[in-house]
A = this chain, B = another copy of it.
Amino acid sequence: MADVTRVGDPHDPRLADFRDLTTADRRPDRPGGKGLVIAEGVVVVRRLLASPYPVRALLGVERRIAELDAEVDSAVPAYVTSAEVMAEVVGFHLNRGVLAVADRAKPWTLDDLTAGSRRLAVLEGVGDHENLGSLFRNAAALGVDGIVLGPGCSDPLYRRSVRVSMGHVLAVPFTTATDWPGALESLRDKGFQVLALTPRADAVALNEVRVDGPVAVLLGSEGPGLTDEAIKAADHAVRIPMAGGVDSLNVATAGAIAFHSLGAG
């Protein structure tokens, strides 16, 4: 049961975590950044409550807080207010009626991520927050055990990624590669077969690939694709057979096809 408090004043200092949400999710070293993890809507707040991220507080309209009440620890304050006060505090109109903020948790390491994992995704240059969020959603749905973020990837804990992922960035473990493409060699050393997904004509068609051990799928951004050095550090280059004249699929969609295809093998 949450510790529910009614708040009527948008300037109430207890609501400080919820102010200016458009920048509060930035890392503390960025302008306006507080490094907070922000969940919006009942479904995503529920995933945050079930995640390893330490929840600081909830803010919502009465009905939404009531829906979540049983799942909230008694040490976590839940502030009930009106939709109007919420909008004034956060800086824009929210149509989901509830928010929760959490602190960042200790990041996973590559060793944490690989221990016991059978399937990983490795991303290079995925800077778009929506694509990143969609990739986490697809990874969660299709049984990917963890995600390694290579150079050029955005922060998956940004509010928009959390929202587009439907909260699955809070559930799928991830780590940032500190060595590149060294992280790919580390994965191979740990027994992962690394498959680089690329539209190159000389790549093997995805449906002809059979894996029977741990596998890591390497995905690049839509425009430039994977770097040559990343492709070289993989075991194989694989491609999704495409119809003539079509440039490419969205990276999250390509990832979903690969996760399904390799999981089903």
Interface residues of A (CB under 8 A from B): 134, 137-138, 140-143, 166, 168, 205-207, 240-243, 246-250, 252-253, 256-257, 260-261, 263-264
Contact = CB atoms under 8 A, between A and B. Distances in A.
9 contacts: A137-B250, A140-B246, A142-B240, A143-B243, A168-B246, A205-B264, A253-B256, A256-B256, A261-B261
B242 A141 contact: yes
A129 to B, nearest CB: 16
Nearest to A208: B264
A260 B257 contact: yes
Contacts of A138: 249, 253
B134 A250 contact: yes
B142 A242 contact: yes
Contacts of A260: 206-207, 240-241, 257, 260-261
Contacts of A248: 141
